Chain A
Amino acid sequence: MSTEIASTAGVPDAPAVRASRPDGKWLIGFALPVFLALAWEVAVATQIVNGRLLPTPSKVIMTLVDLANSGELLDHVLATLWRVALGFVFGVAAGTLVGAVSGYWTIVRRVIDPSLQALRNIPSIAWVPMFILWFGIFETSKVILIAVGVFFPIYLALSGAILGVDRKLVEVGRIFRFSHREMITRILLPATLPSYIIALRSGLGLGWMFVVAAEFMGAEQGLGFLLVDGQQTGRPAVILASITSFAILGKLTDWLLASVSARFLKWQDGFKPAE
């Protein structure tokens, strides 16, 4: 591994290296939101519009700072992060296991895939009443709801991608008499890694979606609770503070996932768009 790094480091202008070097071009992504925020700020300040129902960005930031100073924000963030993390881990584990097995063994796929496809079409929120009956109102039902949301994209992507793995590579494994387990872990999973990682990211996105639903169904803490609380106490700034936190956390965790996984995709020889 280290020899590989040494050997490409000597190449000054390899496109991959250039693309990942922070050169400020990514800042351009901030232009639009900053412009909109400023425009809203000016519009409210000049009283062209009323800022009561849609508070200005500065008001939202102040609310966030207040919440942070009182320690409340951290508690909410940690509660929500913990639920998302647990649900994500369980959903990924189940989705990976079931997806790999059903992609590999036709008989398993024939048995379980139709049912899973049917279940997939139930909006997961519809499970909420059932989960509350089964698992109570507390953490278990929330984590399970999130895990269910994460499960499907992982299962679908993985079982589909395994069927798409190049037969020629699988035959190399057969020539070397790989066991079923080796075939899955040493050929099928690595070969499907690019689509798997995309599935992880969309699963994580769904995890964030479902945590809100989970926290709507009664929670004493969490960003979703903050949303409900803001609504019930008539404080739109709190709602927006919570939404902003969701945006930041969602983006941050996705970025984390993407950058960790990029390490495992160094081998890819894909299309690199021109700048």
Chain B
Amino acid sequence: MLDISGVSKRYPNGLLALAGLNLAVAQGEIVAIVGGSGCGKSTALRLVSGLDMPSSGSVSLDGTPVTAPREEIGLVFQEPRLMPWLTIEQNVAFGIRHLPAAEQVSRVSEALARVGLDSHAGHWPRELSGGQAQRVSLARALVGRPKVLLLDEPFSALDALTRGDLQDHLLDLWAYDRPTMILVTHDIEEALFLADRIVVMQPNPGRVRTEVVPPVARPRDRLNGEFLNWKYKLLRELDHASRPPSGDESFPAAAI
């Protein structure tokens, strides 16, 4: 059980990025966070991962407060953040450096195969496309098989086809290990396809606007009528979330 209670974050420059975020995620649950740019999604993941400390409130995993990064919590950053001086396989092995070499090799090749990059094992990060780099950083987080997986727009740089493939892979993996997942995404369809629950956030300051539990049975079909209905409903919700709370119409609704 991952428990985020009353979490606020004020950055040193005075900006209040999150104000009183509450979210409880059950073991093995997949929660998607959607919301406009700058509403504090990445900030929330940083706090959950233990990378930053909240200004007030607390994050705890199975009852123990998260005060620093932990082995059982994996984070995929919004940017790939690969070490340019390491090859792709060395980058992926970064997170399992304590394992015996033979196990590292097999785990790394398995993780790279999962993201479709086994043929790039010996390449340098500079030789990858943006989407390929993003997939390597996903593999780097998966390879340690964390209990909690935090994903910050992991598929944002991918074409629809590759994205669909990776979503399927992620669900396979989830079916196998049942990690708890928090997935930040700008893609409503992705949220609907993957998540048990969708949290819609709104900015200034960042907080939860609503939570939606789409009653769409798994395995989900992206072209199913019910699925599409929910997609439109959520789009409308997001449109509202991005308007100023007063509903001032002089402010144009941001496109999602």
Contact = CB atoms under 8 A, between A and B. Distances in A.
Nearest to B125: A267
Interface stretch (A53-61, A110-118, A164-172, A219-227): A164-172
A191 B121 CA distance: 21
Nearest to B150: A175
Interface in B139-164: none
B227 interface: no
Interface hub of A175, A182, A190, A266 (most chain B Cβ within 10 A):
A175
Contacts of B209: none
A7 B88 CA distance: 13
A187 B83 contact: yes
Interface string A183-222: 0000100110100000000000000000000000000000
A260 B194 CA distance: 50
Interface in B76-117: 77, 79, 81, 83-87, 94-95, 97
Contact of B49 (A7, A175, A191, A269): A175
B226 interface: no
A191 B81 contact: no
B81 A171 contact: yes
Contacts of A176: 69, 94-95, 97
A46 interface: no
Using C-beta atoms within 8 Å of the partner chain, give the interface range for chain A: 20 to 34
Interface residues on chain B, size class: 20 to 34
The CB with the most chain B CB atoms within 10 A, among A172, A174, A193, A267, is that of A172
B48 to A, nearest CB: 12
B81 A172 contact: yes
Given A3-B122, A4-B123, A267-B126, A172 B94 contact: yes
Contacts of B83: 169, 172, 187, 190-191
Contacts of B51: 171, 174-175
Contacts of A182: 97
Given A3-B121, A7-B122, A269-B126, A177 B84 contact: no
B124 interface: yes
A168 B81 contact: yes
A1 interface: yes
Contacts of B94: 172, 176
Contacts of A191: 83, 85
A268 interface: yes
B95 A7 contact: no
B69 A175 contact: yes
Given A3-B122, A190-B83, A267-B124, A174 B69 contact: yes
A64 to B, nearest CB: 42
A168 B79 contact: yes
A32 B77 CA distance: 54
Where chain B touches its partner, the secondary structure class is: loop
A6 B84 CA distance: 19
Interface in A84-102: none
A182 to B, nearest CB: 8
A190 B85 CA distance: 7
Contacts of B70: 177
A193 B95 CA distance: 22
Contacts of B121: 3
A267 B49 contact: no
Interface in A242-275: 266-269
Contacts of B81: 168-169, 171-172
B75 interface: yes
Nearest to B140: A172
Interface string A148-174: 000000000000000000001101101
Given A168-B79, A172-B94, A175-B49, A4 B69 contact: no
B84 A269 contact: yes
B239 interface: no
Contacts of B172: none
Nearest to B84: A267
A177 B85 contact: no
Interface of B: 49, 51, 68-71, 74-75, 77, 79, 81, 83-87, 94-95, 97, 121-126
Given A4-B123, A268-B84, 17 more contacts: A1-B87, A4-B87, A6-B122, A7-B122, A7-B123, A169-B81, A175-B51, A175-B69, A176-B97, A177-B69, A177-B70, A182-B97, A190-B83, A191-B83, A191-B85, A193-B85, A269-B126
15 contacts: A3-B122, A4-B122, A168-B79, A168-B81, A169-B81, A169-B83, A174-B51, A174-B69, A190-B85, A191-B83, A191-B85, A267-B126, A268-B84, A269-B124, A269-B126
Interface of A: 1-4, 6-7, 168-169, 171-172, 174-177, 182, 187, 190-191, 193, 266-269
